[in-house]
Structure 1
Amino acid sequence: MKYECVSQELRDYADGSNDDFVKALCTGIERLLPDSESPVRLNLIASCFRELLTYQLDCLAAHAAVQQCPWYVQDPTAQAATRRQRLRFAISGGLPDAALGTLGFDEPASIAELADHYKEASKYTHVRPDRINHSDDEVGDFVLAGVTALTGLREEIDYLCDNVKEHLRDAISEHALQKFLETELDELDILSTHTRVECPYVDEIDVEKIDHAYVYVNVTGDVNVELVYGSRSDFRRGDGATLNDSFPFQVSLRSPVNNLENFETTQQIKVDTSSWYE
């Protein structure tokens, strides 16, 4: 079996990570691939894959966090959260089944694929006489299946975040408008005698994380304002003036995993009015 395709998949996965340990394990696996003279080539690769998944789960799904999720039920055969439960948390945090259903999100195939691949990796890691001297095809298939499943996990995380963003966009827009109406913003008020907020437009929604209790989002956009100069009497005399303008804004929010449209502000609205002074 030629390994160019498998090696490229490994490099692509490594390039998508900013973690040096992940990159090092992928490099190690790639260097082991062509060593067909080693009777324990697959065993060493399997060990790297098992530790790679374990490390990823430790980063994304700590046992304590998983056990605080509203959907968590202790498996009577396990002492802590199972691997499948940790994989679910890595993808969707504490979002309960009802919320996932609303988002149109079923259990990803990558959960079963990674759980099964971990079992197979564990089998090869425990070296026995009948578990050495694997063919090129066996080695290539094992690595390709593993990196495909890991890539699937990353894609499922991105896919869920995209679903959350689109589902919450209207509710976030309404919340942003309400916050603009009820919050005095010095950076806007200083621009005129009276500043009226007309409408904020949400541009980007970034799902920063989903933990056991909340979905955290960072929101950016532009707010349209009417700048009023002069009092009512000034306007009656024809001395008042109005000007329309817009400025970029940013706000950080969070919502409970079991009530996604109930937002609270974690970082107050910031409006960038620097363009006004240019």
Structure 2
Amino acid sequence: MTEEEITIEDPVEWLLGADEFHHALYAAALRNLEDLDNKLRFNNFAYALRELTSSILKQRAPKEDVLRCSWYKNEVDHIEDGVTKIQHARYVVQGGLSDEYVEKDLNLDVSPERKAIRDSLKELSNYTHVSEATFNLPTQEVEILVEKSLDALRGLGVAMVNCRSLIAHSLFEAIEAQAIDEVVSDSLEALDSVAHHYSLEHVSVNISGVERITHDTVHLFAAGFIDVQLQWGSNSDVRRGDGHLQDDSFEFRCNLTCSVEDPTGDSLAMEEDSIMVNTKTWGQREDEWGHVNMTDSEPAD
């Protein structure tokens, strides 16, 4: 399973992310439309949504990062290191990945979404300058313009998720193999706080995904379960009945990276010390001896 299987209920909300200002500004923009007696309601909406869109592009695609992409070239006349709205949108969706990789390997054409964002910003700007032609627009025209501008944002969010999902899907087998190898070879210190000894029985990767794409690196994660047999006491203690064996399962997560120049299993690498085993619930479970184990259950760093 990869993030490819995740359904986005509201691409705009997803694109806003965890930024409280963006959520508040988006809500304020929509509230302008509710004021049916205000003849400037769409003008106010257009201004707020234009600024929100520009802020999202700057946050998710900072100019200095766009400039470091291998695909960047200055397309702005008379401005040194100029970055267009289409280039900002390109970075939001694919970071430093080449168009050739996105179009041929992922079979994803995002040029319509880039152009829609640019065109939406231009159109919204037209309505921030109040004139007789842009004042007190009919309700039907407002509805059409609002839907068009929101569709541009939705399209950008969907393209961003699709790109990441397709990358994770294409790399899943390599991610799974590397994550399992790393878990098997790691000391898993978090389990040392649970039992005196443990034996690793099985490792499974259930989900993988792309967290972010920078100008030079794709940052991924993998998560799944580690099945172990926990042991308290020595082997001789267990044979005498003074020790204890117990089968259990713990969630784990790890981080990986690969190069945007070669986004394949060949460049995939595990981030050092990134394996985290979740033992938080261990101290809240009753074991087979009928008591609650109060061992420190914080996950390993």
TM-score (norm 1): 0.77
* Cα distance, 1:248–1:175 mapped onto 2, change above 3 Å: same
1:91 aligned residue (90, 93, 97): 93
* Superposed displacement of residue 35, structure 1: 4.3
For 1:75 and 1:15, locate their aligned partners in 2 and report how far apart those are by CA, in whole Å: 30
SS, match of residue 43 in structure 2: helix
CA distance in 2, matches of 1:201, 1:213: 29
- Give 1:219's aligned amino acid: A
Distance 1:89 1:133, change over 3 A: same
Contact 1:39 1:133 in 2 (8 A): yes
| Contact persistence 2:57–2:88 (CA under 8 A) | yes
In the alignment, what sits opposite 1:268? 274
**Using a 3 Å threshold, how does the CA distance of structure 1 residues 99 and 155 change in structure 2: closer, same or farther?**
same
Counterpart of 2:74 in structure 1 is 74
Measure, in 1, the Cα distance between the counterparts of 2:277 and 2:271: 15
**One-letter code of the match for 2:207?**
E
Aligned partners of 1:204 and 1:220 also within 8 Å: yes
What is the alpha-carbon distance in structure 2 between the residues aligned to residue 147 and residue 181 of structure 1?
47
Residue equivalent to 1:104: 107
1:201 paired to 2:192: no
d(CA) in 1 for partners of 2:252, 2:178: 14
Q: Alpha carbons of 1:271 and 1:89: their partners in 2 closer, same or farther (altered >3 Å)?
A: same
SS in 2 for 1:130: coil
Distance 1:217 1:117 in 2: 31
Report the residue type matching 1:43 in the other structure: N
Amino acid at match of 1:81: V
The residue number in structure 1 matching 2:182 is: 179
Aligned counterpart in structure 2 of residue 214 of structure 1, from 212, 217, 227: 217
Q: How does 1:90-239 map to 2 (within 5 A)?
A: 90-100=92-102, 101-107=104-110, 109-186=112-189, 197=200, 199-224=202-227
Match of 1:258 in 2: 261
Secondary structure, counterpart of 1:106 in structure 2: coil
1:187, distance to aligned residue in structure 2 (A): 5.1
8 Å CA contact retained: 2:76, 2:83: no
Deviations 1:162-215 (Å, cap 9, x if unpaired)? 21221111011111233234434445689687x665653111224221111111
Which structure 1 segments of 5+ residues have no match? 1-10, 232-241
DSSP 3-state at the match of 1:156: helix
Give the structure 2 partner of residue 7 of structure 1: none
Q: How many residues align?
A: 259
2:83 aligned partner, one-letter code: A
Deviation at 1:153, TM superposition (A): 1.7
Query: Please, what TM-score do these two structures have when normalized by structure 2?
Result: 0.72
Q: In the alignment, is the contact (CA less than 8 A) between 2:94 and 2:160 conserved in 1? A: yes
Structure 2: how far apart are the matches of 1:109 and 1:41? 29
**What value does the CA root-mean-square deviation take over the aligned residues?**
3.4
Identity score, percent: 28
Query: Which letter does structure 1 place at the counterpart of 2:126?
Result: K
Question: Are 1:60 and 2:60 counterparts?
Answer: yes
Deviation at 1:86, TM superposition (A): 0.5
Whichever residue aligns with residue 55 of structure 2, its letter is: Y
Question: How many angstroms apart in 1 are the aligned matches of 2:110 and 2:171?
Answer: 21
Q: 1:134 to 1:174 in 2, by over 3 A?
A: same
Alignment of 1:233-248 (within 5 A): 246-248=249-251
Change (3 A) 1:96 1:256: same
CA distance in 2, matches of 1:185, 1:12: 38
Q: Residues 122-158 of structure 1: CA distance to partner in whole angstroms, max 9, x if unpaired?
A: 1222233433232112211111111122122222222
Gaps of 5+ in 2: 1-9, 237-244, 294-301
